[in-house]
Structure 1
């Protein structure tokens, strides 16, 4: 049976395996591709169509249906990207002699400025972590590292303990696509790390005497991943928000990453340095933070400049 005659699920499987092997695509990226392509395959199956016979009109009709469903621009753009990559792969492999999606332009993404936090709000979150009823040293270390480095939450929770040994001034972080970068640690972050490591190592020693294997992760967990999960940390940071009097609706691990970048830029750091520390492949991604500052400055003027106040009658 030729590949063109294989079930659509097989097309998706082979494509995803190639992405993982050749591009070292992250697990979350793989899952997103799988969901989007399974949705497209289901839509085609309902119309007795197959990837091998799809035309540009079919892809455009699918996107129109997605819009009719009320899907966000970002979701539709992501689905089109997955479809384009599948058909580009199929063309390269000789499964098709064309790419029916190559000339389709996406809906674009709505330009939304990232949510961030004021310095005072971050201070309250850090203070709440320090006064956690349980695991205060670990929680303080998590929050200090996140705010000091701007790491992605997955990068933070999966840090190997070896990266934190020896009172480091810099942490080696493995980011998207396996790319590594060095991020500097602030004195408070180093202090929090040292205090937590002492307690962690003591707990590990007790576990070792009980015949349990040592963990390779800085933030170990008994779960199947072996380290603190993103989901658990998301819950923790909401708890800190409530305890610190900060609106939980505006607090996520990613808003701390945004706060890191915004506060650095406001303090005079250059975009290239921030780009490197955040692990952005393109400085254009980092430039969004200049717009965040612009908006904050505009609001500052509107709130405080005497001429912006309504005239008294």
Structure 2
């Protein structure tokens, strides 16, 4: 095992994938010499050259169009969008072209494209650089959406995303880039669409993903001291998501709390809650409770951002509601 930071684990997955397959190329703003805004691709230009690690103009629409064209032409591009908020400028290429090409051309071709992009707050980046927009893309047929919570998951899921024949939106919480964790020294991959039962419990299921996994773990520790046994399911993949793992957990605990940093309204949690209310209704002993951000833009002021972002205390309060 090696202890790696979250960002370094992504870098290692990119390097190994590029060494294994010369079709893998990197595109993005300032990703070559600077390594991108968070230094994730640092050093790859020296190892693979400017033909495979390409700085692009500051035009997300053009970057997405070029990446889709490259994928359709036989390359396996990994496109970095500097902040998830800027995905708004790349929506045509990703949503109208990449997501639909396989279907529109009768499955005669694939679009092996990965779009890496950071979401979330915690660094006082303001309302245009802190949004969690993963639910937008999970709503689009043809796209896969992944959101890892640890260095090992980031490495293993990115290896699978790059090898996948379909377009994958790979969401990285920027507050996790400096997080350290153990990653096996030998290459490995993790399957897309499979959740990770992170912690066993008997009283309540907490379903979450990304950075909120760590808030859920803190909440579970505190709940344990109160005599409440909380099970944590890390979704890892948001589209497709592992309904079976969530239903299996619910069948054991009979109570469900869903937590994410994104705005609560119309979020991933709403879909999970709706499906469990449908296929898992007979297992429920209490209403499903969601934990998410309020329906306002992300504040810039650190004091307001701290209040805005969901935390362990809110998860504890949600658990207390379903246990009442």
**TM-score when normalising by structure 1:** 0.26
Bigger strand fraction: 2
Larger Rg: 1
Bigger helix fraction: 1
